[in-house]
Amino acid sequence: MKKIDDILRGGLYRSRNGIILGVCRGTAEYFDFSVFWTRAIAVILLFLTGLWPVTGLYFLAALLMKPEPVLPITGEDERDFYHSYLHSRKTAVTRLKRRYENLERRIQRMEDKVTSREFDWELRMK
């Protein structure tokens, strides 16, 4: 079983392949449990407690759980970016823009070096 800290840190996601908002499938995948039994437990609780408590908790969980990333997260940097994107898209876009501008400057410096007259002269002399 997973620790509560892992759940709160953001490892529990709503599945993109779920039937209704992906809460049951996401929970089942996170705890490595059968999706069928997770849904069966949810339906049994729905009948035992009534419509509103379970439905309310289900939709509350759907609001609190983050959607599953489209591509799997492989590193800590990707996880940080994904969570920053979910919390503040403007901040995430700013980070991407800054990273793109840094890459653009590096490419321009490389192009300037390769297309300079000195580079051409050194290449011919060798």
Summarize pLDDT for 59-106 with one digit per residue, the tens: 999 999 888 877 777 888 887 777 777 777 777 788 889 989 999 999
Share of the chain above pLDDT 90, in %: 35
* Number of residues written out for the chain: 126
- Where along the chain do its domains lie? 1-68, 71-126
Q: Residue 48 has what pLDDT?
A: 93
Nearest Cα to Cα of residue 60 among 96, 14, 25:
14
- How far apart CA 58 and CA 46 sit, in angstroms, is 10
pLDDT at 6 exceeding the cut of 70: no
Query: Is the pTM higher than 0.75?
Result: no
CB burial of 49-83 (b: ≥16 within 10 Å; e: otherwise) equals eeeeebeeebeebbeebbebeeeebeeeeeeebbb
Q: Residue 8 has what pLDDT?
A: 43
pLDDT band at 5 (very low <50, low <70, confident <90, very high): very low
Q: Residue 10 has what pLDDT?
A: 52
